[in-house]
Structure formats: C-alpha cells, structure tokens
Amino acid sequence: QLVYPHDFRLTEKEKTSICYLSFPDSYSGGLGDTQFSFRLRQAGGSRDSPFQDDGRYNREAPLTLQREAAHYFGYVYFRQVKDSSMRRGYFQKSLVLVSRLPYVNLFQCLLQLIAPEYFDKLEPCLEAVCNEIDQWPPPVPGQTLNLPVMGVVIQVRIPSRVDKPGSSPVKQCNQENLLPAPLVLPSVHELDLFRCFQPVLIHIQMLWELMLLGEPMVVMAPSPTVSSEMVLALTSCLAPLRYCCDFRPYFTIHDSEFKELSLSPPSRPNIVVGVTNPFFIKTLQHWPHILRVGELRMSGDLPKQVKVKKLAKLKTLDTKPGIYTSYKTFLHKDKTLIKRLLKGIQRKRPSEVQSALLRRHLLELTQSFIIPLEHYMASLMPLQRAITPWKNPPQIRPFCQEDFMKSLEHAGPQLTCVLKGDWLGLYRRFFKSPNFDGWFRQRHREMTQKLEALHLEAICEADIVAWMKDKSEVEIVDLVLKLREKLATARCQHLPVKEETLQRVSLYIDTIIGSLPEDLQTVLHH
C-alpha cells in the first residue's frame, strides 16, 4: 500500500516478493499479532544503498553483522483479527521494515512499538516515526546508542570486531540523565538460542557440523515465526566464523527462486531455507537434510526431542517432527552440554542463562576448530626481515591442505577440545565448503594488507638520500610514482598504518622531488 521513505526505490519484482513474504503462506487460524523475518535477494545485482559510508561500518563490525551488499532483510509484524466489515471476515495486514543490517532484535523491538500504533492511526504515524528515525546516529561499532522513537528511548550497543568473542555485552551506562528510563536491549541481534533449539538440543552438534560444512537444509515449521527463528539460530551457531552460504529464514512457493530450489538435485547446494507450506514436503523431498519442527512451547522439563530418521520415512502429508537425514557426524556427541542444560531446567534457570551456556559451548567448539587453521595461516606470512624498502613485499606462501593436516598432530583441536572423533575428516569436508572459502579469502586479504603496511613502515625507516646517490633520474621518477600509488592505496583501502607513517612517506616524496631538476619537478607536481 505504501513505502516510507517515499523515495526508496524497489523494483516491481522486489515489491511482489516482499508482499508474498510478509504473510503466512499456509492456513493459519491463529488470531492476533505475529512477528517473523525473511531475507530477499536484491533484483538486478547490488545497488548503492541510500546510506553511504566509506565502508567503515563493515571494516569495524563483526563479520557476522556486516551490512549485506546484495540482499535485504525484511522484519515483519503481521496482524490478523476478526472484522465483519472486511470481505474475508478478517483484518489482515503487515508492517515490514526492510534493512541491509541483520539486527533482528532491534528491528523487531522497533516494530512492536510502531505497528500497533500504525494499524490504528495509519500513514501520519509512519511519517512521524520516519522523521524520528532520520535523526538517529549511524550505527558505529563499539558505541552505545540512544534511539528515541514514539516517546521511548531504545538503548543498544553496536558490537565491534574487537570485542572478545563470548564476552557478555558491556553494561549500559549513561542512563542517569535519560527520562523516561531507556528500554535497554541486551543485544541487537542475538536470539534466545535455548528457546529456538529446544526440540533439537540433543542434536546440536550434528546441526553445527551441517552448518559448518554448508550443507543444504530445509526447515519445515508450523509458522513463519518458528521457521525464521530456527534458520537464524542455525546460521548464527558458527559465530565468530561467518556463515558464507545462502539462507532464507522464510520462503514461500510464490518466490521467483522456487523453481531453482525444487529441481532435483538442488541446483544451489549451499542454502538453508525455512518453509511452512506442507506442499514443500513434496517438492523438496530430494534434499539431503530436512528438519521438521512443531510449535515451540517452553515447558518445565526438557522439551520433547526430535529423532533422527531416514529420508525414506518422509511422509508427504503427515510428517512427524524429526531430522530426516542419512548424515553421520564426524565428532562424538558431547553429553556434558545436555547434562548442564538439564540441570538448568531442573533448577528453573532463566532461558537467557541457558542460552548463554549454549552459545558458549558453540563458540568453544568453533574456536577449537578454527584456531589450528589460524595458526597454520599465520605460519604462511613472510618473515618481517624479508620485507625490504626497495623491493615489492614478498608473497604469502600458498595454503597446502596436506601440510595443514600434518600440523594437526601437535597443534590440533585436541589441545582445546575434549571431543573425540574424526577431526581430519571434518577438515577435509570443510575445505570444500563456501565457509572455508569465505574464511580463507578474508584472512588472505587481511594478511596482504598487513604486508603492505609493514612495507610502508620499512620505507619510512630507510635512508632515502643514500639510496638516491647512484640512481638515474628515470629510477628516481619511477620511485616517486610507485610511492604515490602506495600512499593512495593505503588511504583508499584504509590499511592498518599509522597516520604519521603516511605523512612521513608523503614528506619523502616531496624530498625526492625537491632533489630533481626543475623541469621534472614541475611535471611531477602536476
């Protein structure tokens, strides 16, 4: 019906997709309000975002919270109430917030404030809200923001890449002069993992392995809320490693990509999709891993755990909850986690404490897996003494899988993790996944930038006048051009170099130019 701000451009295809994704696509007799989220591929490649920044946010934010370049997230607030004046006898409407940021908690909290008001007062309410949001500061990683909207101040801290993984959010401080007291969100994005994973707690390790390896999975749920929360929980369980595959927290049969996904075997093998329409059981039964869950109900004891079943047991109409897969895990089950969670249930520990336990366990598992890779990768970096000012910096040595496997004997995950199992087999499979590719490219890029920074520092330490003594004008001019290019790259790519180093290189360039004949000076200054 309407888009705010009015000048936000969506293609017709995107509008149609958003409309379909904003409503439950299978019969839902439930009345009242529900919230869920989706992720949508942008039509026609990446477009400039209306919010320009120089890439600073993505450089400073954790990899898992970077702004998406080619996808939008949609956060939905859907209302269904009986209304005899409507043709169908129901009032059904959704308010959707579209963003490139995966801040599910912040945006769903915002919708809880705005949507009820909007259904009541319509357009003027959105206009007022947009004017307030326009005044919000940009999300700067590491900062705590106070965000006023509709008489409430939401206070939230934007996580930063330098935060220690697994540390609890910094206690919010500057509240003394805020009246009314702010609505403090403990996290912009972290879900209640214990609640999301409650029917599959005993299989958490299998699900972690499937995510790590980028395996295709369908999550079949009774509602878009359960579907989207389960998919987001699954893709978040590798943190701080970034999940580099595609994922759709909620997906409908009207989606333009539906045909691609229903081909047998799946045409895009690395994707997790959340669905609610029973029709999908028929069309996606050739997928290797299908997780069927029922409604999430928090009860006083360990919720009923789903069983792992053979894919052949998948019934088209009456599919019982379960994980339908023939996957055999590489690592043995960790019984201590389940015991600790059970103890928490018996002692009636709050859900957020149980979630913190679960998150800590997953974090330690991921770190045990990644640390040996980080150590091996660091050993490929050239020695600092090999970096000399007048030669191009040396190359990073190539990543050799067999050398890495040999290094595991004395520096493998067994140093930090008690879990036994086929770690080598898990690494071999991981090397074939987009998650390894994404991790490797990111690390390689960071190391290359570090080398460039060290090279600039070596140039700063060098005796430039001594070097110039026996050089021809051509060689000196060539050096000026190379140094200028290095300086431009360092600034443009925001290399990890001190500002004083850049200024010294700039001064060097001026010194060198000053030593040349005037005609050359004029040319170089231009």
What is the C-alpha radius of gyration for the chain, rounded to an integer number of angstroms?
27
Of 333, 359, 391, the position where a domain reaches its end is: 333
Residues 153 and 246 in one domain: no
Q: What is the reported pLDDT for 101?
A: 94
Given pLDDT bands bounded at 50, 70 and 90, which one contains residue 179? low
Provide mean pLDDT across the span 208-237: 95
Provide CB contacts within 8 A for 519, sequence distance 6+.
none
DSSP structure string for 21-44: HTS-SS-----EEEEEEEEEEPTT
- 3-class DSSP state for residue 52? coil
- Residue 20 and residue 161 in one domain: yes
Same domain for 221 and 156, yes or no, is: no
Task: Give yes or no: residues 205 and 326 share one domain.
Answer: yes
Q: What is the pLDDT of residues 364-384, one digit of tens each?
A: 999 999 999 999 999 999 988
Q: Do 159 and 22 share a structural domain?
A: yes
- CA pair distance 433, 482, nearest whole angstrom: 38
Q: Which of 11, 7, 68 is nearest to 43 (CA)?
A: 11
Percent of the chain with pLDDT over 90: 48
Higher pLDDT, 225 or 296: 225
Supply the pLDDT for residue 47: 59
In a domain, 444, yes or no: no
Indicate whether 457 belongs to any domain. Answer: no
> Is residue 297 scored above 80 in pLDDT?
no
Tell me, yes or no, whether 348 lies in a domain.
no
Number of residues in the chain: 526
**Given this model, what pLDDT does residue 168 score?**
58
> Does some domain include residue 410?
no
Final residue of a domain: which of 300, 333, 366? 333
- Whether residues 204 and 161 share a domain: the answer is no
What is the rounded CA–CA span in Å between residue 352 and residue 294?
Answer: 22
What was the pLDDT predicted at 279?
81
Q: Do 20 and 138 belong together in one domain?
A: yes
Count structural domains, the chain: 3
- Residue 431 pLDDT exceeds 90: yes
* Helix, strand, coil percent content, the chain, rounded in steps of 5: 45, 15, 40
* Omega before residue 24 within 30° of 0, cis: no
d(CA 273, CA 220): 9
pLDDT at 176 over 60: no
pLDDT tens for each residue of 70-118: 899 999 999 988 888 888 788 889 999 999 999 999 999 999 999 999 9
Please, what is the end-to-end C-alpha distance for the chain in angstroms?
Answer: 56
Model pLDDT for residues 304-337, shown as the tens digit of each residue: 888 888 877 776 656 788 899 999 999 998 889 9
Same domain, 141 and 216: no
Last residue of a domain, one of 304, 333, 362: 333
Predicted local confidence at residue 172, as pLDDT: 47
Tell me: pLDDT of 268 over 90.
no
Evaluate if residue 54 carries a pLDDT over 70: no
Beta bridge partners of 146: 155
| Amino acid type, 337 | L
Same domain, 138 and 230: no
* Domain of 128, in residue numbers: 12-46+53-166
32 and 131 part of one domain: yes
Quote the pTM value: 0.90
Q: 211 with 303, same domain? A: yes
pLDDT digits (tens, 9 = 90+) for 402-423: 999 999 988 888 778 888 899 9
Q: Give domain status of residue 395, yes or no.
A: no
Type and span of the H or E element at 261: helix 258-262
The counts of H helices and E strands in the chain are 18, 12
Q: Are residues 197 and 156 in the same domain?
A: no
Contact at 8 Å (CB) between 248 and 271? Answer: yes
The confidence score (pLDDT) of residue 53 equals 61
pLDDT recorded at residue 100: 93
Q: What is the pLDDT of residues 151-168, one digit of tens each?
A: 999 999 999 998 887 665
As a whole number, mean pLDDT of residues 470-485 equals 83
* 88 part of a folded domain: yes
Q: What is the CATH number of the domain that holds 256?
A: 3.40.50
Mean pLDDT score of the chain: 87
Residue that wins the pLDDT comparison between 181 and 12 = 12
Neighbours of 51 (CB within 10 A): 12
What's the CA dihedral at 248, 252, 257, 261 to 10 degrees?
80
| Residue at 188 is within a domain | no
- pLDDT score recorded for residue 294: 85
- Percent of the chain topping pLDDT 70: 91
Whether residue 383 is contained in a domain is answered as no
pLDDT band at 401 (very low <50, low <70, confident <90, very high): very high
